[in-house]
Amino acid sequence: MLRATVGLVEERDEEQEDEGEEELRDGGVPFYVNRGGLPVDEETWERMWRHVARIHPNGEALAKEIRGATDLPKIPVPSVPTYQPTTTIPQRLEAIQKYIRELQYNHTGTQFFEIKKSRPLTALMDIAKEMTREALPIKCLEAVILGIYLTNNMPGVERFPLSFKSQFSGNHFHHIVLGVHSGGRFGALGMSRREDLMFKPLEFRTLMDLVQEFNGAYRGYWHTLHKVKIGQYVSHDPHSVEQIEWKHSILDLDKLTKEELRKELERHTRDMRLKIGKPAPPSPTKDRRNSMGSPHRGPSSPIRRISRVERRPSGEKKVLEQKPSADMNGYQIRV
């Protein structure tokens, strides 16, 4: 019922996603995180309908039409990709991205799965399993966790978080994808409203090439990219109690020349390679693993980091001439 209803709302909402927005937060319509697990509780359910009524031109009528329907169409449920032994790494990554895309972007105003970045990897993988069971629309952070889960059995593919902060018409936007590296080439998996701000095929020779590719995509939507945050490689052990290191390097593009940015990205690439040779902390025992469980099924305390890794500096400040942003009369292009 939930997936069928969400599907109907999104089919009609996608036509309106480029219209002007109200109550902007983080550059877009405010959204909530479902902290009560699934199925959603009554309060969350009603809040989703209020969101539809607020952002859709025919919101109230649309909500009544869908809620009063007795023959909602069945929404197809995507299947988790499977592979033949001869399937190449690029083909597997494309299949994973196709699966993520088929889940659809979540326009409901409520993120269905609560992602706490401080949780150990094993707990985040439990959430990813739940995503595959429920097959509900997701946002970019959920797609990163799902991408890690679906590539865990691909030891030749290294994964790392890659996040962006951009600005358009006075508002800031945040986005994240899962960077991938295999066979000497970089690429990305993810979810976005914009086709060129998620998947990148495994064809970029350096991390600089990959970042520049995303930067060019942002410029295509009149966004100015200000910061790039890059994490370390993520363990392939789904039972690891390690935390994902989300921000090993924080690069301020306003303060870096192109050459300085290239050197910082080369340094980060070397740091990631060094981590491959370091032994990971032991996985929890079976009893402890079971006690951690999924955050949707019971509370668990995150494993606190003993020490913090020194973040890479982003270089000396470079004074740049400010270019006037286009006056779009409050119009916001969300990414």
Each domain of the chain, given as residue ranges in start order, spans: 23-66, 78-274
CA-based diameter of the chain, in Å?
A: 63
Residue 264 in 3-state DSSP? Answer: helix
Q: State the Cα–Cα distance between residues 170 and 26, nearest whole angstrom.
A: 11
Closest CA to 149 of 234, 247, 273: 234
Quote the pLDDT of residue 24: 30
Amino acid making up residue 253: L
* 60 membership: H or E segment, kind and range: helix 59-67
Quote the pLDDT of residue 226: 98
**Cα–Cα distance list, 32 to 175, 261, 322 (Å):** 16, 35, 34
Q: State the Cα–Cα distance between residues 197 and 215, nearest whole angstrom.
A: 9
**Cα–Cα distance list, 263 to 123, 251, 291, 313, 317 (Å):** 35, 11, 44, 11, 15
Q: So what's the architecture of 78-274 in CATH?
A: Roll (3.10)
Catalytic center residues? 140, 175, 192
Quote the pLDDT of residue 306: 43
Quote the pLDDT of residue 142: 98
β-strands 185-189, 158-168 pairing: unpaired
Q: State the Cα–Cα distance between residues 278 and 261, nearest whole angstrom.
A: 26
Quote the pLDDT of residue 10: 39
Evaluate whether 182 touches 156 at the Cβ level (below 8 Å).
Answer: yes
Provide the 10 A C-beta neighbour count for residue 304.
7
Evaluate whether 21 touches 325 at the Cβ level (below 8 Å).
Answer: no
Q: State the Cα–Cα distance between residues 246 and 277, nearest whole angstrom.
A: 19
Model-wide pTM > 0.75:
yes
Q: State the Cα–Cα distance between residues 138 and 150, nearest whole angstrom.
A: 15
β-strands 110-111, 158-168 pairing: unpaired
User: Tens-of-pLDDT digits for all 335 residues of the chain?
Assistant: 565 555 443 333 333 333 322 233 445 557 789 999 999 999 999 998 888 888 888 888 888 888 888 888 888 899 999 999 999 999 999 999 999 999 999 988 899 999 999 999 999 999 999 999 999 999 999 999 999 999 999 999 999 999 999 999 988 999 999 999 999 999 999 999 999 999 999 999 999 999 999 999 999 999 999 999 999 999 999 999 999 999 999 999 999 999 999 999 999 999 999 987 666 566 554 444 454 444 454 444 444 444 444 455 555 444 444 444 444 555 566 66
